[in-house]
Amino acid sequence: MKTRNYNIDAAFKVAILLGFALFFFLTIQSGQVLKYVHPRNVPFIKFAVIAMVLISLFFIPEVFKPQRIKVSSIPLLFFILPLIMAFLLPTQSFNSDYISYGDLKFQGNSGNVDNPEIKTEYSEEGEYKEDIYIDEYLDSENKNIMELNRNELQLIDETIIMDNDNYVRWIQEIYENIEKYNAKKIQVSGFVFKEEQFEDNEFVSARMMMVCCAADMQPIGFLCRYDKAAELKVDTWIRVYGTITKGEFNGNVIPVIEADKVENTEKPEFDYVYPF
């Protein structure tokens, strides 16, 4: 049997390693990596890029050695196909096209103001099932987050002003202390989310929250009531000016924003929010 003067299996491995290293490098350089993972995980991806380059250098000499044993390269397709898709498919942010009524969580501190109907409906549809570890992890961070909220969250001119840095902390704080913040003024930005379940004057100013990576993304936000809600287009980024009131949604007591004014705003460069 004639042996090859090169090792095609080693060549494929080098190409795959360098391909993934290049993809991760480009996503880091462009900032698109933050659409895949939490910022705290970026250093690990940088380490992975360096590791893959070093491993590929180790394989390069093997490419130019005769391949004496025939090895099937078919298993490598499990790496090649995802790599090709990673380069070809555009990176997109999550919006209302990716969520439904069953996804939306009106969420308090580490726990959620859960609606049994919401969970049941979504489980039956089978579109998404939240990993239990997310709630468990948030529960473990509960005390630290509450202490952080007390120390850092402050009203400005008697108004709650929510931004990317404090969004989740304010959500947790307000849901945990509805009475305390009842009748307080609030300003919050998000994209418009609507569902058939909502009344004509209701919508949610929603944001996508990432705990670890895109796989655990979940939408959170405040239910808003506004006389001109019907004029608001889904997925439009808006800023809501209003007052927090204690309301009810499907039998649950939740904070509701009675909107005085809603105006269009620019979509943030990084539109995800993080619990920590």
Place of tokens 């491995």: 13
CA–CA gap between residue 3 and residue 69 (Å, rounded): 8
Q: What is the CATH T-level fold of the domain 96-273, as seen in this structure?
A: OB fold (Dihydrolipoamide Acetyltransferase, E2P) (2.40.50)
Predicted confidence (pLDDT) at residue 266 exceeds the cutoff of 80: yes
Instruction: Give the rounded distance of the alpha carbon of 84 from its chain centre.
Output: 24
Asked if 38 contacts 213 with a C-beta cutoff of 8 angstroms, the reply is yes
Predicted confidence (pLDDT) at residue 130 exceeds the cutoff of 70: no
**Model's pTM, two decimal places?**
0.73
Q: What is the pLDDT of residues 20-62, one digit of tens each?
A: 999 999 999 999 999 999 999 999 999 999 999 999 999 999 8
Contacts of 154 (CB under 8 A, 6+ apart): none
DSSP output for 208-250: EE-SSBGGG-EEEEEEEE-TTGGGSPTT-EEEEEEEEEEEEET
Q: What is the pLDDT of residues 165-187, one digit of tens each?
A: 999 999 999 999 999 999 999 99
Two tokens at 9? Answer: 């299996």
Asked if 155 contacts 184 with a C-beta cutoff of 8 angstroms, the reply is yes
- Secondary structure class of 176 (helix, strand, coil): helix
Amino acid at 149: N
Place of tokens 């942010």: 93
CA atoms within 13 A on the CB side of 8: 9
Higher pLDDT, 116 or 65: 65
Asked if 20 contacts 83 with a C-beta cutoff of 8 angstroms, the reply is yes
Query: What's the average model confidence in pLDDT over 102-124?
Result: 43
- Write down the pLDDT at residue 138: 54
Contacts of 70 (CB under 8 A, 6+ apart): none
* Per-domain boundaries in the chain: 8-88, 96-273
CA–CA gap between residue 101 and residue 103 (Å, rounded): 6
DSSP output for 26-95: HHHHHTGGGGTB-GGGHHHHHHHHHHHHHHHHHHHHHHTS-B-S----GGGHHHHHHHHHHHHSPP----
- Write down the pLDDT at residue 114: 42
Most confident of 17-21, 59-63, 78-82, 136-140: 17-21
